[in-house]
Amino acid sequence: PKKQQQPPGVCLVATGPGSVALTVPQAKLVDHRRGRTATEVFDGFSAVLPPDSSQNDIFTQVMNPLVDEFLGGKSGLLVAMGPTGSGKTHTVFGTARNPGLVPLTLQKIFTAADESEGGNQSPRLFYLSMFEILCEGKGERILDLLSDAAELVLQQSATIKGLKEVAISSAMDAESLVSRGMLKRSTAATDANSESSRSQCIITIRAVHKTVDQKSEHPTSGSVLTIADLAGAERKKNTGNKGSRLLESNFINNTSMVFGLCLRALLDHQKNQKKTLEKHFKNSMLTRYLKDYLEGRKKMTLILNVKPGEDDYADTSYLLRQASPYMKIRYTSLDESSDLVSQKRTNVSLVCQENKKRRKVNKPEPEVVTAEEKELQRVSRSEQIMKNLFNALWTVSKQKISESEVAAKSMRELLKDKDIEILELKKELDDLKSRCSHVKQNDAASIAISSVSQTDLASALDNVHLSTELVQKISEESTYSDPEMSSAYRDMTEKSVDCDTSVANLIDEQELSSRYLKRKRNHALLMLLNPSAI
């Protein structure tokens, strides 16, 4: 076949009924050599719809099989995902002149319902609900688009408490409800999209079959068709979001990431059954609501909305590389147990209601209990209470006794240690007293010696002074008579000076020794008066 020429400014083209080719723009090529291009082919899709496809073509290829299974009693899910501004909301809802998947689905449902009424099939009722999951600070919140309910709670059974379901009888009534809900949906303008969706919008259509009895009519089974329009993933440099818009972008990107992780975990589990299915759905409110579909128990169809322009190459390549492996997920062994469980719950609730009515009409006769039986029951109950109380008191007392024994043992050990310390302190005190008595005797002897030495020093000083005076007189008389006498005089004076210095040194040593003795005496007295100061 001839190669399809790629129009200018386009990086994505359809190469077959289930494959596309993505070409890297010249501005983003690493190797800019002439004639060198990089093209990547993605295949395995159920259908590839080019930009010139109509809404009816998309409905026929994508939504029609889900609607047929829904009318046959099986639940299904359609999810539209892609980058911001790729046409997801237009594909799902469309316009008044060009209706999307939701209006076309409602038209087919009521057309099939009108046809079935003429046959032998049981009549059916349809209920519509519409809500959105949006960002609230750093958390998530559910907003009912068909009522003014403020508090909606997502329960563990993947049902929303407080969500309003409106009974619909025609396609026109259902479309008016959807239009009214779209007016309440959160949208805002960004640099990438003038009317960007800021929430995950979900529409559910529930079909209920009815069986008419003679007494009452109750729904016996139900299937649910869910359509989800996810907000598009955004890049900050393309949208220019700031403040609250940036928080919304983080919420949208995080929800898309968790949704992709759930599908990747399902694919890995199908490839290897021994590998446990990871519970990524717990990280987002949207995935918790769609848990049955993300775990492979119900069928899901995924629409990838991509933009083929070269400027959108980064978003397109990221989405195709992320979502192309999801095409390998197979829903061969669908588990309809959830529908059966819901049917059983409704049947059980109806049976309970009927039983209550019967109980009101036919009240059973009260049982007759004698006084002896009442007394025996009372005595046995009191005995059981006393037995339980005794067991509790016994366990508490045993615990207290064991604790007190441990405490007494520790106290005995502590007293032994204290007695040993007291004996050691007494021995030290006796040693100190003996030492103090010896020191006192030594101090008395040293004081006597010092007094004797002081008297000797005083007499020696007097003798020295007398000798120096005598020498001076002799020198004065003999200085002028004989030169030899003058030299002798010099010798005598020098010797007297030496004697004076030696005497001064002795005085200093005596003062030091007296100070030392005084300190020793004071220390000994201190030890005698206060032994604990040591």
DSSP 504-530: HHHHHHHHHHHHHHHHHHHHHHHHHH-
CA 137, 142, 145, 150 dihedral sign is negative
- Find out whether 514 is annotated in a ligand binding site: no
The reply to whether 478 sits in an annotated binding site is no
Please report which helix (H) or strand (E) contains residue 190, including its range.
none
Q: Is 19 annotated as a binding residue?
A: no
Please give the backbone phi and psi of residue 5, each rounded to the nearest 5 degrees, phi first.
-75, 140
91 is in an annotated binding site: no
Does 138 show up as a binding residue in the annotation? no
Instruction: Please give the radius of gyration of the chain, using alpha carbons only, rounded to the nearest integer.
Output: 54
Cα 250 from chain centroid (whole Å): 18
Q: Which residue has the tokens 């201190």?
A: 526
Is residue 39 a known part of a binding site? no
Overall residue count recorded for the chain in this entry: 534
HSE at residue 268, side-chain half, CA atoms within 13 A, is 12
> Which one-letter DSSP state was computed for residue 97?
S
Bridge partners, residue 387, by sequence: none
Helix (H) or strand (E) holding 153: strand 153-154
Q: Is 86 annotated as a binding residue?
A: yes
3-class DSSP assignment, residue 135: strand
Report the Cα–Cα distance between both ends of the chain, in Å, rounded: 113
Task: Indicate the pairing of strand 76-81 with strand 217-229.
Answer: parallel
**Token pair listed for 233:** 């993933």
Which candidate, 102, 133, 423, 469, places its Cα nearest to that of 289? 133
Spatial contact of 255 and 230, defined as CB atoms under 8 Å apart: yes
Provide the token pair at 22.
């993505």
Residue 321: how many CA atoms within 13 Å on its side-chain side? 8
d(CA 298, CA 78): 11
> CA 147, 150, 155: angle at the middle one, nearest 5?
100
The structure tokens listed for 177 are 């409800």
DSSP 8-class letter at 230: P
Q: Are strands 39-43 and 124-136 parallel, antiparallel or unpaired?
A: unpaired
Three-state DSSP class for residue 19: strand
Helix 171-184 × helix 101-117 angle, to 10°: 150
SS3 state of residue 358? helix
**What would the DSSP string read from start to end of 270-299?**
HH-TTS----GGGG-HHHHHTHHHHTTSSE
Q: CA–CA separation, 501 vs 314, rounded Å? A: 109
Confirm whether residue 88 is marked as ligand binding: yes
| Alpha-carbon separation of residue 278 from 139, 266, 287, 299 (angstroms) | 23, 8, 13, 19
- Binding-site residue ranges: 82-89
- Binding-site residue ranges for ATP: 82-89
